[in-house]
Amino acid sequence: MQVSAGGSSPSEVYSHNIKELPADEKIKVTHIANGHVERFVRRIGHLPGMEAIRLLLDVQVACRLWWHSRDSRSIGLLEADRAALIACALRSLIRTPGRIVLFGFYLIPARARTSIVRRAVRSANVCVVWSREQARRYACALELPQSHFVVVPYKANHSKYVGEQTFDFGNYIFSGGNSERDYGTLFEAVRGLTIPFVVSTTTRESTRGLSIPENVVLVGAEEPHFRRLMAAARIVVVPLTTGRLRGAGEASFLNAMWHGRPVICGDDVSAPEYIDNWSDGVVVPPGDPVTLRKAITTLWQDRRTAEALGRAGCIKVKSLYTHEAFWKRMIEVACWNNTPSPM
């Protein structure tokens, strides 16, 4: 997308812990050229089982992205999929004056391709991540300076649906999502409880080989049904895997907080930076079924505390982590004059 290359440096919130963000809005979008924004959108349906064709299509998109980056006024906000990384790799070989901001960097580099991924990421002006811990882990894994990664707080995606009808609170606990979920730990934690659970995942791999407890109903809900199940739950649990480089589940626990649901998250990457433990949510160590079970039973039995956590989380998300605020921050980073040059 094309935006002007002007602008002052972004607010220093980007170098602070997410917990330290002020409640008032400090970041404004002021340097979009004549309000003109062009989105480079790929709408290509990949054929199943045709890896070679998918790769060729990604190369085509990458070449177009690289071509646009020849314009010094061009700023590409690129989600770091394969096409974007190929474009960055091309840029590392043939430098261009345009600015590239990578975000949504979810790829975990295998040992055999670490050098290629590192080269691609280095060619971008900056890589946006959702937490300071994620920045630290990426910097170590890719042997890049931590200053190459900028922390922008993530968002509650469900904040886009203001005014949507919701249902009365259900007498169940909800858990859902596909990426980096540890349902094995969740099932171990809740087995034998009388508390009803609804777990939604649309990939079989998430629960393959796991024994589903009798108090768990497993569904594959898609939007808008997923968010309706979440919004109607009494508590939301987000169990994440251990040993990750990247953050995960940010949208899920922020969505739950947006709906005013008390959230329990098993995480040691991003969640501790967004959630003040036992103040506006609960964070437990990932892969720890004993601690997770204790948190679940405590909030289920102490409804007053659960509702207080839900209210506090809702206030925080509506003040800081909305969809609109997120994109304002992303554009501000893109327009920042002092964004580091490619290495």
Same domain, 239 and 287: yes
Examine the domain organization and report whether 197 and 99 are in the same domain.
no
Comparing 50-54, 200-204, 230-234, which segment has the lowest mean pLDDT? 50-54
pLDDT band for 15, please (50, 70, 90 cuts): very low
Asked if the structure places residue 343 within a domain, the reply is: no
Which domain, by its residues, includes 266? 158-320
Is residue 340 included in any domain, yes or no?
no
Residue with tokens 């594959």: 220
Instruction: Residue 3: name the closest of 27, 39, 49, 54 by CA.
Output: 39
- Report residue 134's pLDDT band, with 50, 70 and 90 as the boundaries: very high
Q: Which residue has the higher pLDDT, 215 or 326?
A: 215
Q: Are residues 150 and 179 in the same domain?
A: no
Asked if 162 and 308 sit in the same domain, the reply is yes
In the structure, what pLDDT confidence band is assigned to residue 66 with cuts at 50, 70 and 90?
Answer: confident
Q: Considering the entire predicted model, what is its pTM?
A: 0.83
Going 131 to 136 to 142 to 148, the CA torsion angle's sign is: positive
Judged by average pLDDT, the poorest of 18-22, 121-125, 277-281 is 18-22
pLDDT reading at 23 higher than 90: no
Residue 239 and residue 309: Cα distance in Å, rounded?
18
Is 94 found in the same domain as 36?
yes
Question: What's the token pair of residue 42?
Answer: 């790929």
pLDDT tens-place string over residues 284-329: 999 999 999 999 999 999 999 999 999 999 999 999 999 888 888 8
CB atoms near residue 327 (< 10 Å): 14
Same domain, 190 and 145: no
Question: Does residue 299 fall inside a structural domain?
Answer: yes
Q: Flag whether 42 is in a domain.
A: yes
Number of domains in the chain: 2
Asked if pLDDT for residue 336 goes beyond 80, the answer is no
The pLDDT value recorded for residue 161 is: 87
Residue 296 backbone phi and psi in degrees, to 5: -65, -50
- Which neighbouring-strand residues pair with 173? 197, 235
Mean pLDDT over each residue of the chain, to the nearest integer? 82
23 or 307, greater pLDDT: 307
- Is position 5 within any domain? no
pLDDT of 14 > 50? The answer is no
Read off the pLDDT band of 281 (50, 70, 90): very high
Q: What is the mean pLDDT of residues 32-53?
A: 47
Asked if residue 262 and residue 227 are part of one domain, the reply reads yes
304 belongs to a structural domain: yes
Cβ atoms 121, 127 nearer than 8 A: yes
Give residue 48's pLDDT: 56
Same domain, yes or no, for 176 and 306?
yes
Q: Are residue 111 and residue 187 in the same domain, yes or no?
A: no
Q: What is the pLDDT of residues 249-269, one digit of tens each?
A: 999 999 999 999 999 999 999
Q: Is 209 exposed, middle or buried (0-12, 13-18, 19+ CB in 10 A)?
A: exposed
For residue 338, pLDDT over 60 is answered with no
